[in-house]
Amino acid sequence: MKANINKVILEIRAGTGGEEAAFFAGDLVRMYQKYVLKKGWQFRALDFSASSLRGYKTFIAEIEGAGVYDVLKHESGVHRVQRTPETERSGRIHTSTASVVVFPGVEPKEFEIKPEDVELSLFRSGGPGGQNVNKVETAVRIRHIPTGIIVASQSERSQARNRELAMNLLRAKLFDVERQKQEQMVGGIRREQIGSAERAEKIRTYNFPQGRITDHRIKKKWGNIEKILDGELEPIISAFSHE
């Protein structure tokens, strides 16, 4: 059983902080998307649950590029933001969180899923803000019966293509479950929920009043917070390659 280091599943979920957490999750989505495009890699949205204010409750994407897993694996964990939300009239600083998980991609031949173990359902794709972007049921939702894991893909107009992408996502999640079993990680099998044991500690803080980003694992700080959120993530990525 081998992972594909040239393909990953990126999963971002809003945590504590209500609408501001969803807005922050949206910031992270755009940051990674811009970084990926600058690298010349492929970024494909698979599934999402949009909120107002350009935010996301959840956002799942597939990223493909040379060595992408080794580059992005350190992004997994809870990201925290401290800033005054656009909707805050009193100027009070809020603290919100979003969780990021990077799963290595897994090829079908490396991890087989039995047909009788999956339950497939169809639904209509929806765009940000809730508008219907597809009048027919081309979006695919798959439930893995033995584990209860549910995945979906709604990014493509083809039902067959959405099924393929959803299976890729399911395969990556099941592979991650097996990996954690093999490594006997504390906390057991990670489900889809935010805040499972191994992800509970914050890994990075984006402090807008002080204009800096701090990574709490390697004890390093960076300025140019707006520039980094605009996709200039290389200074942080490079810092981990030297650890």
DSSP string computed for the chain? ---EEEEEEEEEEE-SSHHHHHHHHHHHHHHHHHHHHHTT-EEEEEEEEE-STT-EEEEEEEEE-TTHHHHHGGG-EEEEEEE--TT-SS---EEEEEEEEEEEE--GGGS---GGGEEEEEE--B-GGG-B--SS--EEEEEETTT--EEEE-SSS-HHHHHHHHHHHHHHHHHHHHHHHHHT-TT-S--SSTT-GGG-SEEEEEETTTTEEEETTTTEEES-HHHHHTT--HHHHHHHHT-
Residue 238: the pLDDT is: 93
- pTM summary value: 0.77
Q: Which residue has the tokens 């597809």?
A: 134
What is the average pLDDT score of the chain? 83
Give CA–CA dist 195/179, Å, rounded.
19
Using an 8 Å Cβ cutoff, are 30 and 23 in contact? no
Q: pLDDT tens digit string along 129-173?
A: 444 444 557 889 999 999 999 999 887 888 888 988 898 889 888
Mean pLDDT to the nearest integer, 1-7: 68
Q: Is the pLDDT of residue 14 over 60?
A: yes
Confidence bin at 185 (pLDDT 50/70/90) = very low
- The predicted model gives 123-131 an average pLDDT of 58
Q: Kindly state the percentage of the chain with pLDDT values over 70.
A: 83
Mark 190-212 as b/e (b = at least 16 C-beta within 10 Å).
beeebeeeebeebbbbbbeeeee
Supply the pLDDT for residue 58. Answer: 92
Q: What pLDDT digit, counting tens, does each position of 227-243 carry?
A: 999 999 999 999 987 66
